[in-house]
A and B are shown apart, each in its own frame.
Chain A
Amino acid sequence: MLTRREFLKLCTATVLSVSLTDQVIPIMRQAFAEGRLTKPPVIWLELGSCTGNSISLANAVNPTFHQVLTDLVDMRYSWLHNVEQGQAVVQTLLDTVEKEAGKFWLVIEGSVMTADNGRYNHVFMRDNQMVTGMAALQEIAPKAKHIIAVGTCACFGGPAAAYPNPGGAKGVWEVIKQPVINIPGCPANPDWMTGTFSHLIMYGLPELDNYNRPKLFFGQTIHDLCQRRQQFEDGIFASFPGESGCLYRVGCKGPITQADCPKRQWNHYVNWPVRAGAPCIGCASPGFPDSSMPFYNHLPSVQTPLGALNVKKFGAAAAGLGVAAVGAHLITGVVAKRVGKHWLDGTKPHESDPPENIEQLKQELDDLIRQQNALISESKSLERSQVKRKLPRTLRQKVVDFFRPGQKHRR
């Protein structure tokens, strides 16, 4: 059997040269046949979703969706595919929950609608009672072996939770107590889903970051992997989407978005936004879309120890200062509360547990830098008086403590 290390290499390698299908599927098929592994029963529950992630999974190439159904998982319930309807399909769902308790995976697509006690979204009927999506999730989740949120909506609330969030949309992990594996993206790239599923079957839980995203797909920023990175370093910027040059000035959120789109690419690995001249909109970030709108406005000017750097000077300075400057600026932005109104009231990630040691704090701050960066909309459009709520104190305190001169936490 493939070692875990080899598998990780496969997943992170440039997909064009090696395919998950060729290497993994035969191994799995053999393992299933020999009874070393079992096909996990899967309940795919759609809540406040647009079905985009189901469609994206159907766009999977290595392996294809058909192979996912035949060779990877046992898709017991997915209302997009079930042949039965009404009472019969509800029975299938309930039977799976009862008989496969502790074994089945619960995949959630779409955000949890919590307004009006969840009554904005009903998902099935049992004994003549309408069951809300929120209630179904809370009832089924404790019995699941793994809970996987696919798409930014299910992970963090996503577009459904955009300010003012009238439906009370929330990410799955804000609603249940069990650990959730988050596979964000709008939609999630099919490889992120099939890769995570494969890892779960063969080696169990993949390594996750602070936002519970598998590090193997969300470990680096778009900016770090970008084909146009050299143009950023050289100070060659596009002045309008569609032009050549780095798209930073026309709104690219690549520097603060963690995903491997540049090397993985989309739809049979044929294209991805920046290659097509469109700025990254940060769809895999917690806080999307509020944190990255306006989509075509650049990230704010950078405050550095050397003074303010605006975007025009950025290219020249970037080579000297590196991306760390972007991070430093963000922290300042967060402290100065120069954060977007939409961000404060709308889509907002769940706060992770307080750090236990310096390493963890550093890791968290690294993440914070990347994530919080997104939340700053252009400063001129922001009047402080309009800021309705302060950031959670713990978060702000963490940042301030970290940067207070003379503190032991200082890097």
Chain B
Amino acid sequence: MAVQTIFPVTRIHEPLRADVEVQDGKIVDAWLGAHLFRGFETMLTGRDPRDAALFTQRICGICSSAHAVVASMAQQQAFGVIPTPTGQQLINLIFAADIIQNHLRHFYVLVLYDYVKGPNMSPYIPRPQADFRLPPKVNDEILQHAKEAALQALRAHEAMAVFGAKAPMQQTIMPTGVTEQASVERLMAYSSILQELTEWVETIFINDVMIIADYYKDYYSIGAGYGNFMSYGMFPAPVTGERALKPGLIVNQGQVESLDVNHIAEEIRYSWYKDEQERRVLPDGRTIPNRDKSDAYSWIKAPRYQALPVEGGPLARGFINGDYRRGVSVMDRLVARAKETLKICRLAQGWINEIVPNTPSCQQFTPPDAGTGIGLTDAMRGALGHWMEYRHNKVTHYQIVTPTTWNFSPRDNQGIRGPVEQALIGTPVADVTNLIEAGRVIRSFDPCFTCAVHMLEMGNVHG
């Protein structure tokens, strides 16, 4: 059978080309290629290290706060500062609101129309003639919820802006906290939106996901992949830095192990880059584009943890934290994401209660002349890391490894498929002209190629 190409895969962020080989109604092989290279690699070199948070969040408009949060962690290490207790809580609140927004939009804007017939207007028509199984009444009800979800997601971003000034691309996160004050009025504003969100997520969002899971039960056995999970954890507590969601590693659905970032390497055999060495251990990476490389098919590199392709995201965090361990599949990813949304709503409520109003949300600092720092946190879609080095108040090396590079990595030097490529194997296909089933598998990972355009390495320049 011939290889079928989907380009562009829609309802994801930024260009993805999927090539799948179908035999006897099943996908037997898959190649995923990202088709945008903006080459941020050298951009941070020579810039002020204090600007890292605001500059790097421009990489991605969907999870902007994640880059700011992780860059500020790298800055904290490099500058030798820590956020004030209230500052840390506010950073967590900004991040939480952005994640809630992301999860709502992922399900109701991107995933939903794989399972539900949309309204009869552009851009929801034309729609493929495929298996839409919901009875009209249920279908309409969920569509009504999608309208409400759009408003809820907007409210989540409003909550983010209460402390973040604006969303997307907040502007208040600093290495020592947040520039916005923790005033009673601001806390009340956030809290009231959060309360509304929590209620909605609990009664409607989770319910909708379960309804779809019920009608599409077969997707509990489609899209398994490797079952290797990784998370850097997220939401550090003030002072102790202990994370509300724990870091960890799981190999082949086994036990939770501890994680060592020194075991991460990136491989470029099938990526459009040239380098005399095809495997480099972090943070010693290079990025020299070469679009004419034969065999290569993506702008994403292949990051590997001890040579293992690993998956990140809400399901990975669910397994590692013990919140969700039903199984690994398309539906499990969607359900885990919905449940995580509720968990984050509740965590955020806890932090608000802990904040003492009007305590300092940020403090002055002067960066030392030189420093290095690593920031690691989970973002919405998985593990996100920033590596920073600067001298004479100029950045000399900056490297970023984003979640989608993990999930959507191409084959590595040994020809081992990336996690999503593997998850596509075995997916039944009813109609090779629309391949809606492949789209369902791909979208369950919440792909975002704006940040995954590749890792960003800011090369060595002596400043």
Task: Tell yes or no: A278 within 8 A of B by CB.
Answer: yes
Q: Which of B42, B157, B174, B289 contacts A164 (CB 8 A)?
A: B42
Contacts of A85 in B (CB 8 A): 6, 8-11, 128, 434-436, 439
Cβ-defined contact, A58 with B153, below 8 A:
yes
Cβ-defined contact, B158 with A270, below 8 A:
yes
Interface-facing stretch out of A43-51, A228-236, A391-399: A43-51
Pair count A-B, CB < 8 A: 283
Least CB separation from A119: chain B residue:
B291
Query: With A120-B38, A166-B39, A186-B169 as given contacts, are A84 and B10 in contact (CB-CB < 8 Å)?
Result: yes
- CA distance in complex: A239, B167 (Å): 26
Interface-facing stretch out of B60-68, B263-271, B344-352: B60-68
Contact code string B353-390 (vs A, CB < 8 Å = 1, else 0): 00000000110100000000000000000000000000
Cβ-defined contact, B169 with A80, below 8 A:
no
Query: With A74-B122, A75-B123, A163-B43 as given contacts, are A240 and B364 in contact (CB-CB < 8 Å)?
Result: yes
Cβ-defined contact, B158 with A267, below 8 A:
yes
Contacts of B36 in A (CB 8 A): 48, 113, 120-122
Q: Which of B12, B14, B55, B361 contacts A289 (CB 8 A)?
A: B55
A254 CB, nearest partner CB in chain B, Å: 13
Task: Tell yes or no: A61 within 8 A of B by CB.
Answer: yes
Task: Tell yes or no: B125 within 8 A of A by CB.
Answer: yes
Task: Tell yes or no: A102 within 8 A of B by CB.
Answer: no
Tell me the count of chain B residues lying within 8 A, CB to CB, of chain A: 88
Interface-facing stretch out of B45-53, B208-216, B222-230, B411-419: B45-53
Interface-facing stretch out of A20-28, A210-218, A293-301, A313-321: A293-301
Query: With A79-B10, A186-B58, A276-B165 as given contacts, are A241 and B128 in contact (CB-CB < 8 Å)?
Result: no
Task: Tell yes or no: A305 within 8 A of B by CB.
Answer: no
Query: With A50-B59, A120-B38, A293-B48 as given contacts, are A59 and B167 in contact (CB-CB < 8 Å)?
Result: yes
Cβ-defined contact, B62 with A51, below 8 A:
yes
A65 CB, nearest partner CB in chain B, Å: 6
B35 CB, nearest partner CB in chain A, Å: 4
Cβ-defined contact, B14 with A58, below 8 A:
no
Task: Tell yes or no: A242 within 8 A of B by CB.
Answer: yes
Cβ-defined contact, B171 with A281, below 8 A:
yes
Task: Tell yes or no: A402 within 8 A of B by CB.
Answer: no
Task: Tell yes or no: A162 within 8 A of B by CB.
Answer: yes
Least CB separation from A109: chain B residue:
B61
Cβ-defined contact, A276 with B158, below 8 A:
no
Query: With A50-B60, A61-B154, A270-B189 as given contacts, are A120 and B171 in contact (CB-CB < 8 Å)?
Result: no
Contact code string A259-273 (vs B, CB < 8 Å = 1, else 0): 000000011101111
Cβ-defined contact, B189 with A273, below 8 A:
no
Cβ-defined contact, A267 with B6, below 8 A:
no
Which of B60, B64, B105, B171 counts the most A-chain CB atoms under 10 A from its CB? B171
Contacts of A120 in B (CB 8 A): 36-39, 289, 291, 299
Task: Tell yes or no: B127 within 8 A of A by CB.
Answer: yes
Cβ-defined contact, B43 with A55, below 8 A:
no
Q: Which of A50, A61, A342 contacts B61 (CB 8 A)?
A: A50
Contact code string A70-82 (vs B, CB < 8 Å = 1, else 0): 1000111111111
Cβ-defined contact, B8 with A124, below 8 A:
yes
Cβ-defined contact, A86 with B435, below 8 A:
yes
Contacts of A187 in B (CB 8 A): 61, 168-169
- CA distance in complex: A59, B64 (Å): 15
A409 CB, nearest partner CB in chain B, Å: 37
A297 CB, nearest partner CB in chain B, Å: 7
- CA distance in complex: A281, B14 (Å): 26
Q: How large is the interface on A (under 10, 10 to 19, 20 to 34, 35 or more residues)?
A: 35 or more
B27 CB, nearest partner CB in chain A, Å: 14
- CA distance in complex: A240, B366 (Å): 10
Cβ-defined contact, B161 with A266, below 8 A:
yes
- CA distance in complex: A49, B59 (Å): 8
Cβ-defined contact, B154 with A278, below 8 A:
no
- CA distance in complex: A210, B122 (Å): 35
- CA distance in complex: A162, B46 (Å): 12
Contact code string B139-178 (vs A, CB < 8 Å = 1, else 0): 0000000010011011101101111111111011010011
- CA distance in complex: A385, B172 (Å): 35
Query: With A83-B118, A123-B15, A276-B164 as given contacts, are A89 and B8 in contact (CB-CB < 8 Å)?
Result: yes
Cβ-defined contact, B37 with A58, below 8 A:
no
Q: Which of B38, B105, B161, B451 contacts A270 (CB 8 A)?
A: B161
Least CB separation from A81: chain B residue:
B123
Cβ-defined contact, B165 with A83, below 8 A:
no
- CA distance in complex: A310, B419 (Å): 57
Contact code string A309-352 (vs B, CB < 8 Å = 1, else 0): 00000000000000000000000000000000110000000000
Within residues 251 to 284 of chain B, which ones have a CB less than 8 A from any CB in chain A?
Answer: none
Which of B37, B122, B174 counts the most A-chain CB atoms under 10 A from its CB? B122
Task: Tell yes or no: B113 within 8 A of A by CB.
Answer: yes
Contacts of B122 in A (CB 8 A): 41, 69, 74-76
- CA distance in complex: A48, B14 (Å): 8
Query: With A160-B38, A296-B50 as given contacts, are A81 and B167 in contact (CB-CB < 8 Å)?
Result: no
Contacts of A80 in B (CB 8 A): 10-13, 109-110
Cβ-defined contact, A84 with B126, below 8 A:
yes
Query: With A77-B123, A293-B48 as given contacts, are A272 and B165 in contact (CB-CB < 8 Å)?
Result: yes
Query: With A49-B14, A84-B126, A272-B165 as given contacts, are A169 and B38 in contact (CB-CB < 8 Å)?
Result: yes
Cβ-defined contact, A242 with B179, below 8 A:
yes
Contact code string A269-308 (vs B, CB < 8 Å = 1, else 0): 0111101111001010000010001111100000000000
Task: Tell yes or no: B446 within 8 A of A by CB.
Answer: no
- CA distance in complex: A79, B14 (Å): 8
- CA distance in complex: A116, B39 (Å): 13
Contacts of B113 in A (CB 8 A): 83
Least CB separation from A52: chain B residue:
B61
- CA distance in complex: A66, B128 (Å): 22
- CA distance in complex: A115, B37 (Å): 10
Cβ-defined contact, A295 with B50, below 8 A:
yes
A372 CB, nearest partner CB in chain B, Å: 20
- CA distance in complex: A169, B58 (Å): 14
Task: Tell yes or no: B239 within 8 A of A by CB.
Answer: no
B12 CB, nearest partner CB in chain A, Å: 8
Least CB separation from B160: chain A residue:
A267
Contacts of A54 in B (CB 8 A): 61
- CA distance in complex: A273, B434 (Å): 45
Contacts of A277 in B (CB 8 A): 172, 179-181, 362
Contacts of B11 in A (CB 8 A): 79-83, 85
Cβ-defined contact, B127 with A86, below 8 A:
no
Task: Tell yes or no: A198 within 8 A of B by CB.
Answer: no
B80 CB, nearest partner CB in chain A, Å: 17
A82 CB, nearest partner CB in chain B, Å: 4
If A159-B58, A242-B172, A267-B154 are given as contacts, then 14 extra A-B residue pairs at C-beta distance below 8 Å, sorted by A number, are: A50-B60, A51-B61, A52-B169, A80-B109, A83-B11, A84-B126, A85-B9, A121-B35, A122-B7, A122-B36, A187-B169, A270-B158, A277-B172, A278-B165
Offer 24 A-B interface pairs, CB within 8 angstroms, sorted by A: A53-B61, A55-B61, A58-B109, A83-B127, A84-B10, A86-B434, A86-B435, A111-B38, A115-B289, A130-B35, A158-B58, A159-B58, A242-B174, A242-B362, A267-B157, A268-B154, A270-B161, A271-B162, A273-B171, A276-B163, A278-B165, A294-B48, A295-B50, A295-B51
Q: Can you list the 9 inter-chain pairs with the closest CB atoms, starting with the nearest?
A: A52-B61, A166-B39, A277-B179, A267-B161, A242-B179, A294-B48, A86-B6, A266-B166, A276-B165
